[in-house]
């Protein structure tokens, strides 16, 4: 009954707040719910509402918030009654968490201010050359042309005739035509992409992608209404050396992470050495 009454209070409070648009000291002290002597006040929840929210949505949001607060308080009360005093002493954990959080925030701000994010392509090439054994494909990748077109389109047969061609004039004709009439036309900027990305676009599954890539360079599927045409212009299979162009962004992230680690290590070392030189700490290990 107490929870039900609290919800009535919440509904009344929400309705009053968002229909009257009046905020007085009395309103701010209004109690929305109580659980085992603990109270939730209107002033504690006013900031949860986005600007320009409708009264109906605000009411729904408030009722949901009050419900979650009640559930949390009930669990907290249960924990307080059933845990031992030793188990309830979380001061050390809170202190450790606060310390870790402050250090983390400071490190992130330090990195934001000091990190050099410019990475010459020569550095990416050098990292790739020094770590080629780490760049082995765990799935097949392709350079591909993908077309999805309605089978009743007047240009369908012509596009189907051209999509396999590697002749420059045919490619140009296909490019002009497919951009105009295809539902989807993508050559992925002539970049390597995972073959799985192509598979997700197809109406039928390819159960053994690695074997498929060994035997096929073209795909022609349909779902009865649309045709899915794929020309695999270049293929690298699982277990082969991954090309630099495919790994460049990954390498850039690795280099940046290494720079971040060095920044933090240097920060810790410099702070330690400075504190030692100025006798800001003492050890008693002897």
What pLDDT sits at residue 161?
94
What pLDDT sits at residue 29?
65
Go through the domains of the chain in sequence order and give each one's CATH number.
Answer: 2-86 (no CATH), 95-136+242-259 (no CATH), 137-236 (3.10.50)
Q: Encoding tokens for residue 207?
A: 């159960």
Does the structure show a pLDDT above 80 at 19?
no
| Mean pLDDT of all residues in 162-174 | 94
| Mean pLDDT of all residues in 3-29 | 44
Environment class of residue 221 by beta-carbon count within 10 Å: exposed (0-12), middle (13-18) or buried (19+)? middle
What pLDDT sits at residue 48?
84
What pLDDT sits at residue 26?
47
What pLDDT sits at residue 55?
84
Does the structure show a pLDDT above 50 at 9?
no
Going by pLDDT thresholds of 50, 70 and 90, the confidence category of residue 22 is very low
Lowest mean pLDDT among 20-24, 98-102, 152-156: 20-24
Query: Tell me: the pLDDT tens digits for 199-237?
Result: 999 999 999 999 999 999 999 999 999 999 999 999 999
Does the structure show a pLDDT above 60 at 277?
yes
Q: Is the alpha carbon torsion for 151, 153, 154, 158 positive or negative?
A: negative
Identify the residue with better confidence: 285 or 136: 136
| Mean pLDDT of all residues in 185-197 | 95
Does the structure show a pLDDT above 60 at 256?
yes
Place of tokens 């402050």: 102
What pLDDT sits at residue 57?
87
Q: How far is C-alpha 102 from the chain's CA centre?
A: 24
The H or E element that residue 166 is part of is none
Query: Tell me: the pLDDT tens digits for 77-95?
Result: 999 899 898 888 888 999 9
| Mean pLDDT of all residues in 34-38 | 91
Q: Is the alpha carbon torsion for 44, 48, 49, 55 positive or negative?
A: negative
Q: Encoding tokens for residue 134?
A: 């780490």
What pLDDT sits at residue 242?
97
The answer to whether 73 and 35 are in contact (CB under 8 A) is yes
Report percent pLDDT > 90 for the chain.
73
The answer to whether 141 and 194 are in contact (CB under 8 A) is yes
Question: What average pLDDT is seen over the chain?
Answer: 89
Task: Give the largest Cα separation in the chain, rounded.
Answer: 90
What pLDDT sits at residue 1?
41
Check residue 202 and give left, alpha or beta (phi > 0: left; psi -120 to 50: alpha).
beta
Going by pLDDT thresholds of 50, 70 and 90, the confidence category of residue 64 is very high
């Amino acid at each position: 009954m107490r929870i039900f009454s609290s919800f009535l209070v919440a509904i009344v409070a929400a309705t009053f707040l968002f229909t009257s648009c009046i905020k007085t000291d009395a309103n701010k002290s209004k109690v929305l719910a109580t659980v085992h002597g603990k109270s939730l006040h209107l002033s504690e929840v006013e900031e949860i509402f986005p600007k320009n929210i409708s009264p109906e949505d605000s009411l729904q949001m408030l009722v949901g918030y009050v419900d979650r607060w009640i559930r949390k308080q009930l669990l907290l009360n249960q924990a307080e009654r059933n845990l031992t005093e030793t188990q309830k002493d979380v001061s050390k954990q809170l202190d450790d968490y606060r310390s870790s959080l402050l250090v983390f925030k400071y490190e992130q701000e330090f990195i934001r201010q000091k990190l050099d994010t410019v990475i010459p392509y020569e550095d990416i090439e050098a990292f790739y050359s020094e770590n080629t054994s780490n760049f082995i494909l765990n799935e097949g990748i392709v350079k591909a042309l993908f077309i999805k077109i309605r089978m009743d389109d007047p240009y369908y047969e012509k596009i189907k005739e051209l999509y396999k061609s590697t002749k420059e004039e045919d490619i140009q004709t296909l490019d002009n035509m497919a951009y105009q009439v295809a539902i989807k036309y993508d050559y992925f900027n002539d970049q390597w992409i995972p073959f799985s990305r192509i598979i997700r676009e197809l109406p039928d599954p390819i159960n053994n992608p690695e074997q498929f890539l060994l035997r096929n360079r073209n795909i022609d599927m349909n779902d009865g209404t649309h045709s899915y045409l794929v020309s695999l212009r270049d293929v690298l299979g699982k277990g082969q050396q991954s090309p630099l162009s495919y790994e460049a962004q990954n390498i850039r992230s690795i280099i940046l992470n290494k720079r971040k680690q060095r920044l933090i290590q240097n920060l810790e070392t410099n702070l330690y050495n400075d504190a030692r030189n100025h006798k800001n700490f003492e050890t008693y290990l002897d």
